[in-house]
Amino acid sequence: MADDPMQSAPPAPKTAVGTRRPFYLGYDSLLTAGFQLGSPFVLVWILSWYLGVGREPGGLFGEHNFPPTLLLLIPTIACLVGIYRLSDQARSTVLDSPCPCCGALHRRTFGALSKPSDDAVACGECAAYLRIRGLEVSEESPAGMHGYELWPQRYLPRARRSPDGEHMLFEMPPMCATCGAAEAPQLREIEEWGARTAAATSGGILGVVADEVASEAFGNARYRAAQRRSVATAPTAEALHDKALSALTVPVCAQHTEEADPWDAPCQYRCGRILWRSYRYYKAFLALNQIWEGRPPANTPPPAPDPRSS
């Protein structure tokens, strides 16, 4: 008797249906909303000022007009940045939907429906990352290759300490942390997020441009602020977690060693979080270390860092 093809087929992914909301309801803060939504109006006012002053004797570069002309260049650039980010927000898809994995109802902001390559969005309650097809929300594909963050609230209860107490230890799935290949005989060290682009700034104008592009694309302003605070003051909990994570290594195949693939690190850390490039490896890491994937317990603060790591 032939095998039933329905029995051998992989199970269909769970989905949930969401309700679409206007893009302006997807902002995380009133400050960000005000900056982006107000930028076009401020820019129109600045341009009208330039046009009006340009018709006066001496124009924009007259004795009395030159200083404000220069000063207004700063808000002009800020408005252009605000309009650029506003255009991204306007193309985004804001959905009220339950998570197909844990059922948590949240408002989540996804990328444009016309750009399925946009990053997956974290559930916000469980460890799953989500994607949309129309109004249907489903879990990220195991073949996903974006940034998947693991927060200290999840991994700290399962972390073990090295004999000297300086570093955290975890079990690593025995496959390539990038492509999932079974043959992964080499180890690759975890990297500090942004370290390569920060180092690139020493290479002149091209390095500066690369750093700015990374800042715009990945939003590392909060990370840099945390770095400055950790230098200026006593180490924060985030800095202590980063130090404890800095000795982790992951298995990789020959095609994804640091020499063969230097720019696409399979594992990074920042602000106490672990960032995985591969969703397959991210999920395997959770399962192997028995890290809680569902909703974290309510009103439970994250465990304090080991004081010996300071």
CA distances from 27 to 95, 107, 211, 251 (A): 12, 10, 25, 38
Q: What is the pLDDT of residues 57-83, one digit of tens each?
A: 777 777 777 888 888 999 999 999 999
pLDDT bracket for residue 114 (50, 70, 90): low
- Lowest mean per-residue pLDDT among 54-58, 258-262, 288-292: 54-58
pLDDT bracket for residue 205 (50, 70, 90): very low
pLDDT bracket for residue 299 (50, 70, 90): very low
C-alpha angle 202-204-210 in degrees, rounded to nearest 5: 85
Question: Strand ranges (DSSP E) for the chain?
Answer: 15-17, 19-21, 93-98, 105-110, 121-122, 129-133, 136-139, 145-150, 160-161, 168-169, 186-189, 191-192, 249-252, 267-270, 273-278
CA distance 256 to 275: 16
CA distance 193 to 36: 27
Q: What is the pLDDT of residues 215-230, one digit of tens each?
A: 444 444 444 554 444 4
> Tokens at residue 289, please?
């270390």
Beta bridge partners of 108: 95
- Under 8 Å between Cβ of 21 and 94: yes
* 200/268: higher pLDDT: 268
Classify the phi-psi angles of 115: left when phi > 0, otherwise alpha if psi is within -120 to 50, otherwise beta.
beta
Q: What is the pLDDT of residues 43-53, one digit of tens each?
A: 999 999 888 88
Mean pLDDT taken over the chain = 79
Q: What is the pTM of this model?
A: 0.70
* 205/285: higher pLDDT: 285
What pLDDT score was predicted for residue 234? 60
- Supply φ then ψ for residue 287, to 5 degrees: -65, -45
- Counting residues of the chain whose pLDDT is more than 70, the rounded percentage is 75
* Residue labelled with tokens 């902002």: 27
Q: Please state the domain extents for the chain.
A: 15-20+92-139, 25-91, 145-195+235-309
* 159/309: higher pLDDT: 159
What pLDDT score was predicted for residue 137? 92
Q: Is 95 exposed, middle or buried (0-12, 13-18, 19+ CB in 10 A)?
A: buried
What pLDDT score was predicted for residue 13? 63
pLDDT at 204 over 80: no
Average pLDDT on 200-226 reads: 46
What pLDDT score was predicted for residue 118? 67
Average pLDDT on 118-138 reads: 88
What pLDDT score was predicted for residue 254? 92
What pLDDT score was predicted for residue 89? 87
Q: What is the pLDDT of residues 230-285, one digit of tens each?
A: 444 567 888 888 888 988 999 999 999 999 988 889 999 998 899 999 999 999 99
